[in-house]
Amino acid sequence: HKYVYDFSEGNKELKDLLGGKGANLAEMTNLGLPVPPGFTITTEACQAYLATGREPDGLAGQIEAHLEALEREMGKRLGDPQDPLLVSVRSGAKFSMPGMMETVLNVGLNDQSVVGLSAQAGGNDRFAWDSYRRLIQMFGKTVCEVPGEEFEHALDEAKHAKGTHDDLDLDAADLRGLVDAYKKIFLKHTGREFPQQPREQLDLAIRAVFESWNAERAVLYRRQERIPADLGTAVNVVTMVFGNLGPDSGTGVAFTRDPASGAQGIYGDYLANAQGEDVVAGIRNTVPLQELEQLDKTSYDELLGIMARLEEHYKDLCDIEFTIERGKLWMLQTRVGKRTAAAAFVIAGQLVDEGLIDLDEALHRVNGAQLAQLMFPRFQLDHEFQPVAKGIGASPGAASGTVVFTSARAVELAAEGKSVILVRRETNPDDLNGMIAAKGILTSRGGKTSHAAVVARGMGKTCVSGADEIEVNVPAKRFTVAGQTVTEGDVVSIDGTTGKVYLGEVPVMPSEVVQYFEGSLDPEHIDNALVRAVHRIMTHADGKRRLAVRTNADTGADAARARRFGAEGIGLCRTEHMFLGDRRELVERLILARAPGEREAALAALLPLQRADFEEIFREMDGLPVTVRLIDPPLHEFLPPLEQLAVNVAVAQERGEDVAKEEALLAAVRRMHEENPMLGLRGVRLGLVIPGLFAMQVRAIAEAAVSCARGGGVAKPEIMVPLVGAVQELETVRAEAEKIIAEVVGDSGVEVLIGTMIEVPRAALTAGQIAEAAEFFSFGTNDLTQMGWGFSRDDVEGAFFWRYLELGIFGISPFESIDRDGVGRLVRIAAEEGRAARPGLKLGICGEHGGDPDSVHFFHEVGLDYVSCSPFRVPVARLEAGRAVV
């Protein structure tokens, strides 16, 4: 089995096997770019090592053979006392995991070869001893787990003794002394001398890189970024080149475009007389890359040429690491660079302009999560505001408010109309009310899957989690950060996208992308690269997609907004809110009615109110389909809560007041009490039990449609019956509804469809029968998930989902993203069997999943006709529906 690949043998497509770094080093080698020679040990070797605890058979021999070939090519032997070949041993997984795993530089140095290295460098003792002390430091820390601070402390002492703060002031003798000090530290912690055998150094370093895959921080990072745990890392063995040979040497990093804004230009940092890790570690101040032009014009020009070449080759923004050794440029790394959401759109647009990619490819390069990010308001940051802490951007948005430390206080202040930020070390299910009341949530512990993060995302609330610079003291109602104390009542601002925390109130700026969607920014006439790029890519997505996108909206205002955002109809108009407010009293009368006459009177009073609601919606959605769901929740939700009512009655009786009406109400509430209301008298069951209720709603819909048509509009109502589990339920409702519709519609030309939600698992499994009585299905994936898993949606997210996520039982809440294997399978079965029974059956989905990128792709695959989501998610769904096609 082949476990080792020379750089000349690989290419950029082999990331699974060679890791990102190795695949790209191979690609650059084969492009003829100046890459120091070397080889890559595959991720398969790492997987085998991690599975069995030892190197797989054959690996040692292959490493030997490649090392010999490398030695022949370089004309030097690893660690040779006269003229040593030195190598770096670098981790590199399929997905980049910045700073998570290990790299050891200068492998091959020992007490003899350090002398040879100096001689070869023209007697540059300083350089040789500097390289040696770096090896002991990195090797000790990463391979042998010697605490890094001990080395840093010794380095500080050496500088202190010399009266300087700058590494460069240490001369050869100082560094030689430091090597001795480092060796003592190494011996003290490992119980052995620093290994002098070059090959042993190499083998131990390779093994350490394998093992770094399972380092705690790497495991955590993978969980957060949802990177599979079993990929393993490759190991790259690379000939060393030296940026620390003197002022004509150095090292740097660069981007081919600005990864923040996408702007074209040269972005990078350079550090003269240094080795690579110095730049990242921020030990010394780098200079902007442009200054390299003065220092070394030849290398600078060559670098710019290579950067242009890389962009042309990868057809994307690249980031690179390079080193200059005495005026000779070497490329040490490149990859397609990470970027902000805004830069992703801008760069995709630019690359189309430059003819490097087409619009289909541009659509690949962006995603709905990025678009969603761009639709949140942002902080308007000027120099006045510096972040005091940085946590994890757990749930996007920009929120400012008064700091509170308890759920109770959050609820209190919110009731007074204040914006509050709930600050906790971590949250737990008891904090739920406070989280609902707060504008944002800030915790000092926990990652993207902590309780705070999961619940906040579910609520669409801004959250920064794990800001560990913050020291929270709940009993004292204060936190400290960066030497400052923040007490209850002070104002902070948190950015749930970047994870940054600011003291004071940072002004908030509306999203330009939202302004564009709302129609107040014209992309053709403004000089805004982002808006133009979004416009272009969205237009292309709309042209490509097969799925229609509708919205969930219950009011004319929501409908109008969603339409501006591109909604092509309403997929779910809930009618519940039409029973609230002033109308509660009518609903009470309906429920309390003793005689048919009383009930009919209550329904007759509700009818015109409902009709007016529908008229407004049909007007806003003129010409587009509107799916109206008949009332779904249990009726007692519209009555006062039992305890409160009981207390009121008791108090009133005490005072000797007449409580006949309240007592009747109380009795009704008692009668209707359910242990499990979500599985009780709701949806179609309600319609079958309360005479006239559905009939009134059907009549209101039909009359509104007719009145709309009479006014010259086009109403396309689709009546949706909720919670159907058996075709007989639907047939009963249908028979009554058809009579009313026929009577109301007459010859007005209005057409009313009747269909059902598929949200009870039994409905999905008997979809063939149900389709006989339904002109359309709309998957209610919230209830289908709730009933499919047996998870009470209102309870489980806060109660234990964090634990399920931590254990990896699922990677994301099934309420957030469709569970393809289980709930998704129900959708698939129902779609197939429904269509088989009734060709042309219209299929849609109206759960929260309609606006979730992954779920949109699934619904496309299953062949639904449309997805429906909240107005704000409509653009996201449009984009993802387009991406699902290309």
The residue ranges that bind ligand ADP (CB under 6 A) are 36, 88, 90, 99, 103, 105, 238-241, 275-277, 280, 321, 323, 332-333
Is residue 846 part of the annotated active site? The answer reads yes
Choose the stretch contacting Mg ion; rule: CB under 5 A; options: 75-83, 332-340, 484-492, 639-647.
332-340
* Three-state SS annotation for 438-455: CCEEEECCCCCCCHHHHH
Classified as helix, coil or strand, 865 is: coil
- Sign, CA torsion 402/404/410/413: negative
Choose the stretch contacting Mg ion; rule: CB under 5 A; options: 313-321, 475-483, 671-679, 748-756.
313-321
Residue reference for tokens 């189309």: 352
d(C-alpha 198, C-alpha 87), whole Å:
10
Give the nearest distance from C-beta 329 to ligand ADP in angstroms.
Answer: 12
Between strands 420-424 and 440-443, the pairing is: parallel
Q: How far is CA 334 from the centre of its chain?
A: 24
Q: b vs e for 231-244, b when ≥16 Cβ sit within 10 Å of the residue's Cβ? A: bbbbbbbbbbbbbb
Q: How far is CA 412 from CA 43, 399, 407, 420, in A?
A: 55, 18, 9, 10
Residue reference for tokens 């009618």: 575
Backbone angles phi, psi at 121, to 5 degrees: -90, 25
Give the nearest distance from C-beta 181 to Mg ion in angstroms.
Answer: 28
d(C-alpha 535, C-alpha 517), whole Å:
9
Assess 125 for contact with Mg ion (CB under 5 A).
no
Give the nearest distance from C-beta 279 to ligand ADP in angstroms.
Answer: 6
Assess 783 for contact with Mg ion (CB under 5 A).
yes
Give the nearest distance from C-beta 337 to ligand ADP in angstroms.
Answer: 13
Give the nearest distance from C-beta 236 to ligand ADP in angstroms.
Answer: 7
Give the nearest distance from C-beta 332 to Mg ion in angstroms.
Answer: 7
d(C-alpha 313, C-alpha 329), whole Å:
20
Give the nearest distance from C-beta 278 to ligand ADP in angstroms.
Answer: 8
d(C-alpha 44, C-alpha 234), whole Å:
8
Classified as helix, coil or strand, 44 is: helix
Catalytic-labelled residue, pool 46, 318, 573, 846: 846
Q: Which of 20, 780, 844, 871 binds Mg ion (CB under 5 A)?
A: 780
Assess 759 for contact with Mg ion (CB under 5 A).
yes
d(C-alpha 357, C-alpha 376), whole Å:
28
Assess 92 for contact with Mg ion (CB under 5 A).
no
Residue closer to ligand ADP (CB basis): 69 or 280: 280
Give the nearest distance from C-beta 257 to ligand ADP in angstroms.
Answer: 20
Residue closer to ligand ADP (CB basis): 139 or 479: 139
* Residues 108 and 238: beta-carbon distance below 8 Å: no
Among ligand ADP, Mg ion, none, residue 88 binds (CB under 5-8 Å by kind): ligand ADP
Among ligand ADP, Mg ion, none, residue 351 binds (CB under 5-8 Å by kind): none
Altogether, the residues listed in the chain come to a count of 886
Please work out the total of residues on this chain that contact Mg ion, with binding judged by CB under 5 A.
Answer: 5
Give the nearest distance from C-beta 690 to Mg ion in angstroms.
Answer: 18
Q: How far is CA 108 from CA 7, 131, 806, in A?
A: 20, 11, 42
d(C-alpha 627, C-alpha 865), whole Å:
14
Among Mg ion, ligand ADP, none, residue 783 binds (CB under 5-8 Å by kind): Mg ion
Choose the stretch contacting Mg ion; rule: CB under 5 A; options: 321-329, 568-576, 702-710, 762-770.
321-329
Sequence-distant (6+) residues with CB within 8 A of 572 are: 550, 552, 553, 627, 629, 720, 778, 846, 868
Give the nearest distance from C-beta 333 to ligand ADP in angstroms.
Answer: 5
Among Mg ion, ligand ADP, none, residue 90 binds (CB under 5-8 Å by kind): ligand ADP
Backbone angles phi, psi at 546, to 5 degrees: -100, -35
Angle CA 690–633–744, to nearest 5: 55
Residue closer to Mg ion (CB basis): 211 or 321: 321
Is residue 451 part of the annotated active site? The answer reads yes
d(C-alpha 549, C-alpha 540), whole Å:
15
Residue closer to ligand ADP (CB basis): 109 or 757: 109
Helix crossing, 660-672 with 642-654: angle to 10°? 160
d(C-alpha 291, C-alpha 266), whole Å:
11
Sequence-distant (6+) residues with CB within 8 A of 314 are: 12, 334, 336
Cα dihedral 172, 173, 175, 181, rounded to 10, equals: 160
Catalytic-labelled residue, pool 46, 66, 318, 451: 451
Residue closer to ligand ADP (CB basis): 332 or 720: 332
Give the nearest distance from C-beta 209 to ligand ADP in angstroms.
Answer: 9
* Three-state SS annotation for 374-434: HCCCEECCCCCCCCCEECEEEECCEEEEEEECCHHHHHHHHHCCCCEEEEECCCCHHHHHH
Assess 333 for contact with Mg ion (CB under 5 A).
yes
Among ligand ADP, Mg ion, none, residue 759 binds (CB under 5-8 Å by kind): Mg ion
Which strand (E) or helix (H) includes residue 874?
helix 874-883
Residue closer to ligand ADP (CB basis): 270 or 791: 270
Surface-to-core class of residue 425, CB atoms within 10 Å of its CB (0-12 exposed, 13-18 middle, 19+ buried): middle
Residue closer to ligand ADP (CB basis): 128 or 534: 128
Among Mg ion, ligand ADP, none, residue 780 binds (CB under 5-8 Å by kind): Mg ion
Give the nearest distance from C-beta 848 to Mg ion in angstroms.
Answer: 11
Which among 642, 630, 692 is positioned nearest to 667, based on CA atoms? 642
With CB atoms as reference, the residue minimizing the distance to ligand ADP is 276
Among ligand ADP, Mg ion, none, residue 764 binds (CB under 5-8 Å by kind): none
List 402's β-bridge partners, or say none. 420, 491
Q: How far is CA 797 from the centre of its chain?
A: 18
Using CB under 5 A, list all residues that contact Mg ion.
Answer: 321, 333, 759, 780, 783
Catalytic residues, by residue number, are: 451, 846
